[in-house]
Structures are given as C-alpha cells and as structure tokens.
Amino acid sequence: MTDLEMWSLLVGFFLPPAIAVVQRKEWSDGVRALVAFAACIVAALGTCYFNGSLDGRSLVSATLTVLVTAVATYKAFWHKTGVSDAIERLTRRKIKA
C-alpha cells in the first residue's frame, strides 16, 4: 500500500465529522450528497498535493479511496455513534425571523 493510499484512507475516515460541520438537516438528500462529494474531491486534492503526486491517476485513485472510506465509515461508525448528528446540531445556525 502506498503512502497516498494510506493518507487517503486516513483522511476519508476523519472526513465525515468535518462534513457534518457544513451539512444542515434541512437540506435535501441530493444537496447533502453533493456537498459530501465535493468535500471528498477537495480532501483528495489536498492529499495528493501534500503527498507530492498531483496527477490525474493519483487524483482519481485518492478521490475514490476518500469517497468510499468516508461513506463506509459514516454509515458504519460516525452515524451510528451519533457523532455526526451531534456536530450538525452544535453547528446549526439560527435563522432570525
């Protein structure tokens, strides 16, 4: 396993709580999915950049690794423990009427 793959797995594991800071409960599932996907692309770009391998193949590989890891750990760990929901509640912005 390469350094890029290891860092992509690590970033993907810790990405769901970071995404939860931005996500809002009132957003549709489609918008929430797009925000999560965009965050995975940005995280993969950063991972490739700091690993010194910012080329097309590495970016695709890192994006897929981050995406799959983030989705899997969200479903299997972060969501079930309630961490993501708690972060969303704590970072919810109050809308003044």
The string of pLDDT tens digits covering residues 18-48 is 999 998 888 999 999 999 999 999 999 999 9
Domain that holds residue 45: 3-90
Per-residue confidence band for 9, with pLDDT thresholds at 50, 70 and 90: very high
**Would you give the DSSP letter of residue 78?**
I
Residue 58 lies in a domain: yes
Average pLDDT over residues 49-67: 95
Residue 97 falls inside a structural domain? no
- Report yes or no on 71 lying in a domain: yes
For residue 82, being part of any structural domain is answered with yes
pLDDT at res. 97? 54
Supply the pLDDT for residue 16. 96
Summarised one tens digit per residue, pLDDT across range 73-94 is: 999 999 999 998 888 888 887 6
- In the numeric block, which tokens belong to residue 55? 């080329």
Q: What is the number of domains present in the chain?
A: 1
Helices 3-22 and 29-51, interaxial angle, to 10°? 140
Residue type, position 74, single letter: Y
Residue holding tokens 């809308």? 95
CA 55 to chain centre: 21
